[in-house]
Amino acid sequence: MTTKDYQTKRPLSIFLHYFRRHWKLFTVDILCAVLVAVIDLSFPLVTRSALYEMLPGQMYQLFFTVMVTVLVCYVLRSFLNYIVAYYGHTFGIRVEADIRADLFRHMQDMSFDFYDRNRTGQLMSRLTTDLFDLTELAHHGPEDLLTSVLTIIGALIVMGSIRWELALVVAATIPVFLIIVFSLRRGMSKASRAAKEKTGHINQEIESSLSGIRTAKAFANEEVENARFTAANVVYKTSKRDFHKAMGRFHSCIEFFLCSLNVVIVGLGGYFVMKGDMDYRDLLTFTLYIASFVSPMRKLSGFSEMFANGFAGLNRFVDLMRTEPTQQDKPDAQPLTAVKGTIDVEDVSFAYDGDLDVLRSVTLHVAPGETVAIVGPSGGGKTTLCQLIPRFYDVSSGSIRIDGQDIRDVTQRSIHQNIGIVQQDVFLFADTIFENIRYGRPDATKEEVIEAAKKAEIYDDILAMPNGFDTYVGERGTLLSGGQKQRVAIARIFLKDPAILILDEATSALDSVTEAKIQRAFDTLAQGRTTLIIAHRLSTIRAAHRIISIADGVITESGTHDQLIVQNGIYADLYNTQNPAHPQR
């Protein structure tokens, strides 16, 4: 389904849509559940026949034959219950897995600004905790609803044939029961949704604390983190309080109602027996059917609780699926092909969330194969400019073109395929070095991965590790040094082999010797490619054809090293600060 489908369809319709792929499992589950209900309805009838006909008529052989048959039916019932439990839950898990897969794909389509606004822990809660109850709802919901309705109808028909007055009393309780269920279910649904939101809060606090555990230890702030966790844990402990109160009210009312029904029926039935209008055997059979009637009523009340929990998660899922990415491809967007590397930034302004402009009327033209270094004070807009070129964000005004094509007119995927980015904050997946390098091109051969490692000056380091390329890098690459992580990320770009390079402090974690080595590799890689280098360490931009400085969201200077030194502006100040022994004017 598309985002528009999620926006126009009701949550229940969306939920049932996921049943289609697994209709065979669903059919088996429902049929077996119905057969179980039929067996349950048959036993009181058999009991009544035994009491009225077989035992008084001394038909003992038939009686024991029927009892054996009933026993065989209960063996069959046990097998059917196994099918319902196993295949029913399998069906529910598959539905949940399909929903989670669609949600994850949708999250991948979301733009950078979505992740600026939403914390990882909350999104994890949407992908996991919120969907757990959907397994139970998908499995037990339709099954309990159908079998309960069939059992109630069947029980009422048989009870009506025994004593219609008592059956009428029982039937009159159904609308009262439904009124109680629906009135109390609203409170449970509201409380369940609030509980899931609070559960997402503790998930985000746990994710934040575990991610920052090294920083906490470095600052000896374990107690601070413990206090934060304790506060979140208190929220969690009370997160379901309102739901449990609503659930307690619900179950108390339902149990009183159902238990009172037994008393009323036995009392009225006893009255009819006293008057001689009813046989005690009919009353016994009738009370057996009351048990068959009450059991599905309890199932319906359980279904109501299950529905409240499941739909709270379903509604949160639907809310997220209805959210459209900020950056979307146009319907007629074409892929960017045969990229030469021309970049034209025309009068671009940009502000995050409509606040103050980070960039103001920036114009920059980069020729194919040109290397442009971008320098300037922190917060001046260097990284923002380089995030606009791959269209991680859309410009507020102006335009950005690659090879003359506005990046809003081509597919985002093709832009990303043709731009390689090495960021200052390197992210490595919790996998092997080999897989982290091959992430640059998932279909790369082992020989190509090795060649990329050599170009990135990481090959010798890898061979020195106990497991070589199969070395596990740890969570976010924590088992590697900063320089090694940076060079693994650089190897990914060598393997990707893009037409345009963006290096955001790509050598910041390297020592001077390694930096010199990797700089030679970058110089080789940059040949014939358009390269943008964001740098604070000016030693990394010696090979740049042009240097621009950005401050307060505008380009203040543009030229070669010598030209900018003569201008005695921002670049000259940065250079002299980093080279106090050899200032240039």
> DSSP letters along 199-221, please?
HHHHHHHHHHHHHTHHHHHHTT-
375 SS3 class: strand
Question: Model's pTM, two decimal places?
Answer: 0.74
- Of 122, 111, 102, which Cα lies nearest the Cα of 2? 102
- As a CATH number, domain 340-418+499-511+520-585 is 3.40.50.300
443 SS3 class: coil
- Of 152, 176, 159, 151, which Cα lies nearest the Cα of 287? 159
Every domain of the chain with CATH number 3.40.50.300 lies at: 340-418+499-511+520-585, 428-497
- Summarised one tens digit per residue, pLDDT across range 546-582 is 989 888 888 888 888 888 888 888 888 887 877 665 5
Distances (CA, A) of 214 to 232, 344, 345: 20, 43, 41
With beta carbons less than 8 A apart as the criterion, state whether 465 and 471 touch: yes
- As a CATH number, domain 3-321 is 1.20.1560.10
Distances (CA, A) of 309 to 190, 304, 313, 580: 9, 9, 7, 66
- Summarised one tens digit per residue, pLDDT across range 54-110 is 766 777 777 788 788 878 888 888 898 888 888 888 888 888 889 888 888 888 888
What is the pLDDT at residue 581? 54
Question: Tokens for 310?
Answer: 């499941």
Percentages of the chain per state (helix, strand, coil), in multiples of 5? 65, 10, 25
What CA–CA distance (Å, rounded) separates 84 from 23? 14
DSSP label of 51: I
What CA–CA distance (Å, rounded) separates 33 from 29? 6
Per-residue pLDDT of the chain (585 residues; tens, 9 = 90+): 788 888 888 888 888 888 888 888 888 988 988 888 888 777 767 766 776 677 667 777 777 887 888 788 888 888 988 888 888 888 888 888 898 888 888 888 888 888 888 777 778 877 877 787 787 788 778 878 888 888 888 878 877 777 778 888 888 877 877 777 777 666 766 777 677 667 766 666 776 666 666 667 666 777 877 787 777 777 766 767 777 777 777 777 777 777 777 777 778 888 787 877 777 777 777 777 777 777 777 777 777 777 877 887 888 888 888 888 888 888 888 998 888 889 999 999 998 876 778 898 999 999 998 889 898 888 888 888 988 999 988 888 999 999 989 999 999 889 988 988 887 777 888 888 898 898 888 888 999 999 988 888 888 889 998 888 888 888 777 788 777 888 888 888 888 888 898 888 766 656 666 667 667 767 767 777 898 988 777 766 766 889 898 888 888 888 888 888 888 888 888 878 776 655 555
Domain 428-497 class, CATH top level: alpha beta
> How many Cβ atoms from other residues are within 10 Å of residue 79's Cβ?
13
> How many Cβ atoms from other residues are within 10 Å of residue 531's Cβ?
25
